[in-house]
Amino acid sequence: MKIFVTGSSDGLGLLAGQQLVEQGHSVTLHARNAARAEDARRALPAAQDVVTGDLASIAETREVASAANALGPYDAVIHNAGVGYREGRRETVDGLEHVFAINVLAVYLLTALIAQPKRLIYLSSGMHRGGDPNLTDAQWTARRWNGSQAYSDSKLYDAVLAYAVARKWAGVCSNAVEPGWVPTKMGGASAPDDLQQGAETQVWLATSDQAASITGQYFYHKQPREVHPAVRSTEFGDALLAYCARLSGTELSAAR
């Protein structure tokens, strides 16, 4: 199978790529810039290729999608790229809040622009349960900045995207994953969960026969786990898709 993994120059993305290659699959990695791409190539020389582009930029995200399509089509896309909650509020080149731009809008835009695979996997977090399903101030221009809340919101939105895509694209298996609190740069060295296990569910959803017909679900260590009620809301899912379409200038197409 051919799989594209975003944010895969290190951490869970790279680990998922390594597990996929070990299973005999063809993997395309993604890195933010050329230096990170070289790191990825050294870490996983068996990868088919590395696509480069900063997902904080709408223009570069479009370039990532174009480059990925040139190397595809893919059987699965794992939307792993993301940033954490320890940074202060800052704006991207497009004037968007940084956490939202990378964790949510780039994920939406790549979903819309990359040729539809058979399977889509979105990285969420247990922190999504503390997310606020309210798009009124999604860019944090009116509220006092709270990095933990912004991250929780973004991971809620990722799960909402997974379910909304599952409803919109009947022929694509779209699911969300909670990898656990694992010792990556984002999670920190003291994180208690197992790193290897943190990538296994993404790989399983992307490749296994068992997961070939599973869609619109949320998993933790290959087991279904309950989600924030907003994740199942068709109304909020449609609102998030419309919001992302407005910000990016790209609508999610009908199923092909």
Exposure letters 83-122 (e unless 16+ CB within 10 A, then b): bbbeeebeebeeebbbbbbbbbbbbbbbbbbbebbebbbb
Do the Cβ atoms of 237 and 160 come closer than 8 Å? Answer: yes
151: annotated active-site residue:
yes
Question: Distance between CA atoms of 236 and 234, rounded to whole angstroms?
Answer: 6
Rg (CA), the chain: 16
Do the Cβ atoms of 63 and 109 come closer than 8 Å? Answer: no
- 74, 108, 122, 151: the catalytic one is 151
* Closest residue by Cα to residue 177 from 30, 12, 47: 12
- 155, 157, 163, 218: the catalytic one is 155
Question: Distance between CA atoms of 21 and 190, rounded to whole angstroms?
Answer: 28
220: annotated active-site residue:
no
* DSSP state letters, 115-178: PP-SEEEEE--GGGGG-----TTTT-SSSPP-HHHHHHHHHHHHHHHHHHHHHH-TTSEEEEE-
Enzyme catalytic residues: 151, 155
